[in-house]
Amino acid sequence: MEKFVDLLSAAVARAFEAAGYDGAYGRVTASNRPDLCQFQCNGALPAAKQYHKSPMAIAGDVAAQLQDSLFARVQTAAPGFLNLDVSDEALARYLEAMAADDRFGVEPAAMGRTVVLDYGGPNVAKPLHVGHLRSAIIGESVKRLLRFAGCRVIGDIHMGDWGLQMGLIIAEVRERRPELPYFDEAFAGPYPEEAPFTISELEEIYPAASAKSKVDEAFAAKAHDATFQLQQGRPGYRALWRQIMAVSVADLKKNYGRLEVDFDVWYGESDAQPYIGPMLEDLKARGLARESDGALVMDVAREDDAKEMPPCILMKSDGATLYATTDLATLVQRERDFHPDEVLYVVDKRQSLHFEQVFRAARKAGIVRPETDLTFLGFGTMNGRDGKPFKTREGGVMRLETLIAEVTDFVSKKIAENQTVAAGDQGDTAHKIALAALKYGDLSNAPTKDYIFDLDRFSAFEGNTGPYLLYTIVRIKSILARYDGDAAAARLQPPADGAQRDLMLALTRLADNLSVACRDRAPNVLCAYIYELAGCANKFYHETKILSEEDPVRRAGYIALIDLTRRVLELCIGLLGFSAPEKM
Ligand code: ARG
């Protein structure tokens, strides 16, 4: 279906042409003075230059030709604007077509495009912390937005499951339990099925080992050696690594599951390792990588660089490969497996230099095709009320699990006080509200911005919050439940007053907002839109006697309108990654 403004633009373009001007000047936009008119066309201003006429004369010529049933009022305004109001019938017709379609007439504009989305990025055996929260929340919403636009999206969690952190754990387990078969080189297998640790033990082991390695040189050397031997494929260490992975992945699945974030593939840095050797050989053979102080590097600076661009280090003098090496090899793998049109990374913006280097290296080496887009969607920090990165009350790193539990607890108390939700539904309702608070609190900010996590504000039922949107939906559901007719069969009617008209106009803007949110990978655009839409819906609700309206046709029109509003709101919050309860 055509976007509403495109439909209006086409009519105005025809009027420009009928008056003897180029139709391209007929572009219509939403009015920036909604108190004066609903839409405007400013095309007479640039047209004046081309036709050497006054803009007012051109606007007048066009207005005289604009006899379209789409418009109820066409006015010219100095210095040459066309102020437009659409007819109430045209508005109702358009919404009726939207309501009849399960995509509300929104075209899948990016049909067939393949996008690999790299988000989440948790580090195995380290607890998930709030820094990973943003990647998960933003990435999940971007994934849903791109899918709605028709893309084939492969969401990859890209775990940090390789390198020194693994060697540290292996070395520490070895010190604690030297008798385990994983450390016996003569052991011929099979290794035990059961892991020698639980997730909580593992989460204690890693920080302990990491701290020890900083003060104990001998231990640090053992950890390095364990890393090296793991990478060389020592069977016992591989088996132990698989145990670490199994325990961690089960825990990650639980945590991301609670966040309603899900990945299509659970690859990690380890999956890229087989590609590293051949990639480095190839880069050397083609003269793209050079030696520098024993290390292997690739120059990625350009002459026109304003800032210094250090070379991309691919291998250190001791043979160890680095973060950039792994990311390049991952691109080799992604190109081979998915042939993507775009690889999109949702990662902390402090990693932007790393990605700039990797992208340049990948292009220079032809690891991705020239037409493949490599995009870095860098996000800012979630801060506490003191403006510093969010911490626990004790000043430690806040674990994601704890944070979710705290938010859920907080809203549980609220709904228990409100006494609107049956006891059996309280758990599920609290979970839905908590997710809305957490996700909307994050997504309503532009991704690159830092923001302050404020539990009171995020979980308020009024204001620009997730729970407010849920509340709006719940309120509509309750009216629909009390309607004596069949809501699905109710027919939209032209608006009877301003509040109803504003709500209808807001609904016509869905497609525009979705396409901007998708193009800019900006869930915040969708947030701003539904906040406005919910505001219109609540104003309409307060000013209109919906269920007690006596005229059944008009009553059905109201019902059809709020039902469409509910469906649009539910679509949008779904794209943001949360959903509404029945009551709250
Ligand atoms: N594991 C990394 C971290 O915690 C994030 C990974 C981001 N993705 C990537 N392809 N490098 O910082």
Q: What is the mean pLDDT of each run of 10 residues along the chain (584 residues)?
A: 96 97 97 94 97 97 92 96 97 97 95 96 84 94 98 97 93 96 92 93 92 96 94 93 95 94 97 96 96 95 94 91 96 98 97 97 97 97 87 75 90 90 93 97 96 92 97 97 93 96 97 96 98 98 96 97 98 98 94
Predicted pLDDT of residue 281: 96
Among residues 409, 423, 535, the alpha carbon closest in space to that of 471 is found at 535
- Predicted local confidence at residue 189, as pLDDT: 80
- What is the structure's pLDDT at 68? 83
In the sheet that holds 28-30, the strands lie side by side as 28-30, 39-41, 81-86, 71-77
Nearest CA to ligand 1 atom 11: 327
| Residue 190 DSSP one-character state | P
pTM of this structure: 0.95
Q: Which of 526, 502, 507 is nearest to 577 (CA)?
A: 526
pLDDT at 231: 87
Residue 578 φ/ψ, nearest 5 degrees: -140, 175
119 CA to middle of ligand 1, Å?
A: 8
- Residue 171 pLDDT: 97
Closest atom of ligand 1 to CA, residue 131? 4
273 within 8 A of 162, measured Cβ to Cβ: yes
| The pLDDT of residue 388 | 85
Task: Please name the amino acid found at residue 139.
Answer: G
| Beta carbons of 546 and 562 less than 8 angstroms apart | yes
Cβ–ligand 1 contact at 347 (below 6 Å): yes
* Pocket of ligand 1 contains residue 272 by CB under 6 Å: no
Residue of the nearest CA to atom 3 in ligand 1? Answer: 121
Backbone Cα Rg of the chain: 29
Closest approach atom of ligand 1 to CA 355: 11
**Going by CA atoms, what residue is nearest to atom 12 of ligand 1?**
121
> What is the rounded CA–CA span in Å between residue 195 and residue 433?
36
How many angstroms does the Cα of residue 559 sit away from the middle of ligand 1?
48
Q: Residue for token digits 């450390």?
A: 183
Ligand 1 pocket check for 342: Cβ under 6 Å = no
pLDDT at residue 337, rounded to an integer: 97
Q: Does ligand 1 come within 6 angstroms of the Cβ of 577?
A: no
Q: Which residues have C-beta within 8 Å of that of residue 294, sequence separation ≥ 6?
A: 316, 317
Q: Whose CA is nearest to atom 8 of ligand 1?
A: 121
Please tell me if the CB atom of residue 212 comes closer than 6 angstroms to any atom of ligand 1.
no
Question: What angle do helix axes 269-285 and 323-338 make, rounded to 10 degrees?
Answer: 90
Distant-in-sequence, close-in-space partners of 222: CB < 8 Å, separation ≥ 6: 171, 174
- Angstrom distance (rounded) from CA 261 to CA 391: 23
Q: Is 160 in the pocket of ligand 1 (CB under 6 A)?
A: yes
Residue bearing tokens 């709020």:
562
> Which residue's structure tokens are 């006891």?
423
Give the contacts of 243 (CB within 8 A, at least 6 positions apart). 195, 196, 197
- Distance between Cα 81 and ligand 1 center (Å): 51
**Beta partners for residue 561, in sequence order:** none
* Spatial separation of the C-alpha atoms in residues 401 and 168, rounded to whole Å: 24
Question: 166 C-alpha to center of ligand 1: Å?
Answer: 15
Ligand 1 atom closest to residue 160's alpha carbon, by position in its atom list? 1
What is the whole-number distance in angstroms between the Cα of residue 345 and the centre of ligand 1? 9
Is the C-beta atom of 118 inside 6 A of ligand 1? yes
Residue 255's pLDDT is 92
| Burial (CB count within 10 angstroms: exposed 0-12, middle 13-18, buried 19+), residue 251 | buried
Distance CA 559, CA 485 (A): 9
Residue type at 544 in one-letter notation: T
State both tokens at 489: 């069969």
Interhelix angle 523-543/130-148, rounded to 10 degrees, is 80
Distance in Å, CA 158 to ligand 1 centroid: 7
Residue nearest to atom 5 of ligand 1 (CA): 121
Q: How far apart are CA 302 and CA 84, in angstroms?
A: 50
pLDDT, position 134: 95
Pocket test for ligand 1, best of 347, 358, 379, 381 (most atoms within 8 A of CB): 347
Task: Report CA(581)–ligand 1 centroid distance (Å).
Answer: 34
CB distance 123 to ligand 1 below 6 Å: yes
158, 352, 400: which to mutate for ligand 1, most atoms within 8 A of CB? 158
**Residue 139 beta carbon below 6 angstroms from any ligand 1 atom:** no
